[in-house]
Structures are given as C-alpha cells and as structure tokens.
C-alpha cells in the first residue's frame, strides 16, 4: 500500500491547491447570486423550522428539545450525503486535468470534500440563533465538537476516495449510492430520536451514521457522546484510510484509462 499511502500524504501536503480549487468551485456555482452560498443557509433554516414544528408534535416532544436535534441532524447529514454523492464524479469531472498533469488523485477527492465542507460551514451557523433562542447549554462538552468534526472530515475523505475509484470503474455505482442514501436517511436517527422508538437502540448501535452524527451533534446539544461512538468512528477512519490506500495502489495506473 506504499503508493496509496504516498498519494494520500501528497494530497494532504498539497492542501493549498485543493482548498483554492474548492473555493473557486463555490464562487463559480454562486456567481452573480445576491446571497451566494447563504441561499443554502436560508433554505435549510426554512426546512428545519417546518420539520421541527411538524415532527415535534408527531413524536410528542418539546420543540425546544426537538428543533435543535433535527437541525443539527439535517446539517450533518447534508454534509455526509453531499460528499458521498459528489465524490462519485471527483475523477470524471477532472478528467482533463488528470490526463494532462500528474497530481495526486487524492487532491481531486479532497477538493470535493472541502467544497462540501464550505457549504457545511454556511449551514452550521444556524445553530447560533437556535442556541440563543432555546438557551442551549455551553460547557466543556461543547468543545468536543471540534475533534468530532475533524474525525467526520477524515471519514468523508476515505469514503470519497473509495467511491471515486469504484464509480470511475463502474458507472452504475452513483445510481446505487443515491438509492442507498435515501434508505440511510430514514434508517438513521436524523429526524427521529433514539429514545422515541422502541428497540431503536440496536438500530442506532449498528448504524455508522448514528455514531458520526453523535460525535458532532451531541456536544452542541450539551451532551457527552458515548465512548462507543468515539471508538467506532476512530476505527472507521483507521480501517477506511487503509482501504482507500489499498484501492489507490491498485487503481492509480488504471484511472486514466477508465475516464
């Protein structure tokens, strides 16, 4: 896996390149727009408020508890789903560059993840007015949000590398991923709290999306994420990066021919 690890390392070193490309993508996407990326913030705010009002009554929960829960769930899920979907085209969208310039393949994947992360930063600001209005607690647990976010970013990097390689080889994979994400959205505790459903503890424990959300959402809600969630996410990152390095090693000389 030496060449795959080397590719990932070189991509990390070239952080100036993929951050610049990601910013450029955002500027191009919202060029001549009045609000720019904040249109996403506005649409997320409207959707979250409507969903919070309706589903808080369905689950018979206080809206002061449910609205912050569902808001953070949707924001984190949006980042996970967007990076997963967009990474399928990380190599095909950059086919012209790949054919002409030798760059680490991980650069193009990190460009995709960074672009989605910028959008995530535009939506996570919604937690500020929500926290002020509902007086969410701010304590030492809140700062656990930072390592949780770092682990989430690392996890999405290896997931995106794997999906980018497989999708470049098999063009039906993006369609399968889109279907799988729809199922995962309703099977994961994004809009429904674990405590609201019977036997939901087992479903959450075996669902990696739950653990990814818990290490980010929990601290911002004033809760301490369970140790199990930290261990699961760390193991996912370690094993996932190994898988990504292995696939990069095997496919690095073939990706150009698959484009």
Q: Which residue has the tokens 């002061």?
A: 64
Helices (H), 14-101: 15-29, 38-58, 63-86, 95-100
pLDDT at position 198: 63
Residues 207 and 194: beta-carbon distance below 8 Å:
no
Please report, for the chain, the start and end positions of each structural domain, with discontinuous segments joined by +.
2-258
Task: State residue 232's pLDDT score.
Answer: 93
Q: What angle do CA 258, 24, 80 make, to 5 degrees?
A: 65
Q: What is the pLDDT of residue 34?
A: 63
Candidates 147, 160, 165; CA nearest to 219 is 147
CA R_g for the chain = 19
What b/e string do you get for 216-236 counting C-beta neighbours within 10 Å, with b at 16 or more?
A: bbbbbbeeebeeebbebbbeb
pLDDT at 37: 67
What is the predicted pLDDT for the residue at 77? 93
Residue 156, token pair as written in the block = 């999405």
Identify which of 235, 232, 231 has the alpha carbon closest to the alpha carbon of residue 243: 235
User: By three-state DSSP, how is residue 94 classified?
Assistant: coil
For residue 20, the model assigns a pLDDT of 93
For 191, residues 6+ apart whose C-beta sits below 8 A from its C-beta are: 51, 55, 70, 73, 74
pTM score, whole prediction: 0.90
Task: Residue 238: count other Cβ atoms within 10 Å of its Cβ.
Answer: 12
CB 84 within 8 A of CB 94: no
Q: Which two tokens stand for residue 259?
A: 């484009």
Q: Which residues of the chain have pLDDT under 70?
A: 33-37, 196-200
């Amino acid at each position: 896996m030496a060449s795959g690890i080397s590719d990932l390392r070189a991509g990390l070193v070239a952080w100036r390149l993929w951050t610049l490309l990601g910013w450029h993508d955002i500027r191009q996407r919202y060029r001549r727009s009045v609000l720019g990326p904040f249109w996403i913030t506005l649409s997320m705010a409207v959707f979250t408020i409507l969903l919070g009002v309706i589903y808080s009554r369905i689950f018979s929960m206080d809206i002061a508890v449910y609205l912050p829960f569902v808001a953070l769930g949707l924001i984190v899920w949006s980042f996970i789903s967007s990076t997963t979907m967009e990474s399928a085209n990380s190599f095909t969208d950059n086919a012209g560059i790949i054919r002409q310039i030798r760059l680490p393949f991980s650069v193009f994947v990190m460009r995709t993840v960074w672009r989605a992360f910028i959008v995530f930063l535009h939506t996570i600001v919604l937690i500020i007015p929500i926290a002020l209005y509902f007086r969410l607690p701010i304590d030492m647990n809140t700062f656990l949000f930072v390592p949780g976010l770092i682990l989430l970013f690392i996890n999405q990097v290896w997931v995106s590398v794997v999906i980018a390689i497989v999708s470049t080889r098999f063009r039906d994979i993006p369609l399968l991923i889109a279907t799988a994400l729809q199922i995962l959205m309703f099977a994961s505790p994004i809009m429904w709290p674990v405590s609201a459903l019977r036997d939901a503890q087992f479903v959450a424990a075996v669902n990696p999306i739950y653990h990814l959300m818990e290490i980010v959402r929990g601290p911002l809600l004033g809760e301490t994420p369970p140790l199990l969630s930290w261990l699961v996410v760390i193991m996912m990152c370690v094993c996932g990066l190994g898988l990504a390095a292995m696939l990069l090693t095997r496919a690095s000389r073939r990706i150009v021919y698959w484009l």
